[in-house]
Structure 1
């Protein structure tokens, strides 16, 4: 294993890793101080170092975020061996122009009244830091790691077959 995890300030690789995953587990702190997680569909990895979601203005997560804006998002794609953890500050607000811009018809499943539903809020998570792990899922990469371990008696190093980095936006 590497002694030190590489750090980057470039969010583009992070956004590339999660663009196909779409679903994240959003963790907030509830009124009792316990962690509370639920799935959320990512609408747009941000052009402004943020991730965007739609939420109901009367949901528990909006209440929890108003009490404590620190949240965590976890993305997982076991089929591709991609795992991402994002920590940041969340803010729920209503901006009809931005709702119109981000709206897609499948969202009607959660908001049957459409994009003009007065209960739609945008949930913006501004990224403080993130970390990702991406292990090639190909049989060839796994075989390489196995053979290297057998021949050398050492486990694979992160940079041999895995990609792991911390992301800290400027």
Structure 2
């Protein structure tokens, strides 16, 4: 995955975390109003905080994005390091062959066996509107010690850094 230095300095930490995690759960709303999520590999986070994904034109998520005001949520999680990112934004299906060429890698081939010229291949572009992250900054052992300390003392567990960023 390619990440670019962010024009919005507040998104720099988000970029670093997304780059490390790479797989997001993308949540959309289905025809009955249910929230539905699926794993998606992020291909790029560009300098404007826009995240790029490959998908199929016939995928239900493309229709769901169009039917529900383009709103999506992306959740990235690395439970082992206690790093979590939530991104709310607007999504758009975009058939941009130049951008597909730029982002194409062999990692996408299992989903698109006909390659980057597959007529079903399209892009989902998600513009970040609000992002929030949780970063423990500590090892698992330190986190366990802090949980035990909080349980014994009756104090609140100190989870680490939690920041909201608007774009």
Decide: shared fold, TM above 0.5: yes
Partner of 1:64: 64
Taking only aligned residues, the RMSD between alpha carbons, in angstroms, comes to 2.0
Q: CA deviation at 1:13?
A: 0.5
8 Å contact kept, 2:80–2:140:
no
Partner of 1:126: 127
Partner of 1:154: 155
Q: CA deviation at 1:157?
A: 4.0
User: Are residues 118 and 143 of structure 1, via their aligned partners in 2, closer, same or farther at CA, if it must alter by over 3 Å?
Assistant: closer
8 Å contact kept, 1:136–1:142:
no
Larger Rg belongs to: 1
Partner of 1:81: 82
Q: Structure 1 residue runs of 4+, over 4 Å off?
A: 150-153
User: Are residues 29 and 154 of structure 1, via their aligned partners in 2, closer, same or farther at CA, if it must alter by over 3 Å?
Assistant: same
Partner of 2:161: 163
User: Residues 1-170 of structure 1 correspond to what in structure 2 (within 5 A)?
Assistant: 10-68=10-68, 69-139=70-140, 141-142=142-143, 145=146, 149=150, 153-158=154-159, 162-169=160-167
Q: CA deviation at 1:152?
A: 6.1
8 Å contact kept, 1:145–1:155:
no
Q: How many residues align?
A: 159
Unaligned runs of 5+ in 1: 1-7
Unaligned runs of 5+ in 2: 1-7
User: Are residues 91 and 139 of structure 1, via their aligned partners in 2, closer, same or farther at CA, if it must alter by over 3 Å?
Assistant: closer
* CA offsets 1:111-165 (integer angstroms, 9 cap, x no match): 011011111111010011011111134156336635764796522445xxx0110
Find the residue that maps to 2:58 and give its secondary structure. Answer: coil
* CA offsets 1:11-41 (integer angstroms, 9 cap, x no match): 1110111112111110101111111111100
Separation in structure 2 between the aligned mates of residue 146 and residue 116 of structure 1, nearest angstrom: 51
